[in-house]
Amino acid sequence: MIPSSKLPRHLKTRVPYPRVAPAPVDMGPPKIEIRKLDFYYGVSQALRNINLALADRSIAAFIGPSGCGKSTLLRVLNRMYALYPHQRAVGEVLIGGRDILGPTVDVADLRYRVGMVFQKPTPFPMSVFDNVAFGLKLAGEVRGSELAGRVESALKDAAIWDEIKGKLHADGRSLSGGQQQRVCIARTIAVQPEVLLLDEPTAALDPISTLKVEETLQALREKYCIVIVTHNLQQAARVSNVTGFMYMGELVEIGPSNEVFTTPKNRRTDDYITGRFG
């Protein structure tokens, strides 16, 4: 038995997580509802009987070891999986009350309503302005004069306007990684989606950029239903209202973040967040 004083710091205490996120506001009807969701990559099952409901104007974080299915869950919500053959979801997923898994759903329209930010920044090969305007032009709903205003407010919402207002016509790929990622967030929120999905959005960023992205998320909470997948437990604790712990394709536990991180109901959640496995 190793004496407690010799343990690495993160294993010593059960409550090392900074808490800034407020408890979930009392929600109206849930923005996202998942019932009996199973997911398959070919014959191997990646998600088993997922049931949950997420509120609007809140941040939900999903944590769990690699391969637990948290990214898969995220990719169901905008049907990204449909881009790849042999991947299928079975069950019921409602976003804003509408089933998104049905055969008649217009996937392009769904993805327009449900934005996604990826782990690696993916600026398009065009100027910063055109990057952010991409989705708006795609929909063709926004006219020229209005476009500049929408781009500006998206960049402001993504907390990058001040850094970048002089470089709107620089190639998006010439920015730093942290700036690229926030431009990608701006690009995603420019179309004012109903839901914002983030798949490990800070995994490829340095700590300072990470902090800025997290501040951005805090600000966006006021407007959107945000779902974030992260390997960084501190991050989940810092930013989320609700945390779900996933393990081997199952949703082990989901609840208010302050409860999940301090008094988890499930033994496996406890083991994971105290660093005993995973």
Partner 1 sequence: MNRRPLRKLKNWAFLGLSMLATLAGLACLAAILWTLISRGLAGMSARIFTQMTPPPGSAGGLLNALYGSAAMTLLGILVGSPIGVLAGTYLSEYGQTSRLATVVRFINDVLLSAPSIIIGLFIYEIIVVRMGHFSALAGALSLAVIAIPITLRTTEDMLNLVPVGMKDSSAAMGAYPWRTTLSILYPAARSGIVTGLLLAVARISGETAPLLFTALNNQFWSIDLNAPMANLPVVIFQFALSPYKDWQDLAWAGALIITATILILSVAARILLALLQSRGGGGPAQ
83 lies in the binding site for partner 1 (CB under 8 A) = yes
167 lies in the binding site for partner 1 (CB under 8 A) = no
Site string for partner 1, 23-62 (x = CB under 8 A): ----------------------------------------
Binding residue for partner 1, selected from 88, 120, 223, 231, defined by CB under 8 A? 120
Binding residue for partner 1, selected from 116, 151, 196, 229, defined by CB under 8 A? 116
Q: Is the four-CA dihedral 214, 216, 220, 226 of positive or negative sign?
A: negative
Q: Which two tokens stand for residue 176?
A: 């730093």
Q: Residue 122 or residue 262: which is nearer to partner 1 going by CB?
A: 122
Least CB distance to partner 1 at residue 214 (A): 21
Q: Which two tokens stand for residue 155?
A: 């960049």
171 lies in the binding site for partner 1 (CB under 8 A) = yes
Binding site for partner 1 (CB under 8 A): 78, 80, 83, 108-112, 115-116, 118-120, 122, 124-126, 134-135, 138-139, 171, 173-174, 184, 187-188, 191
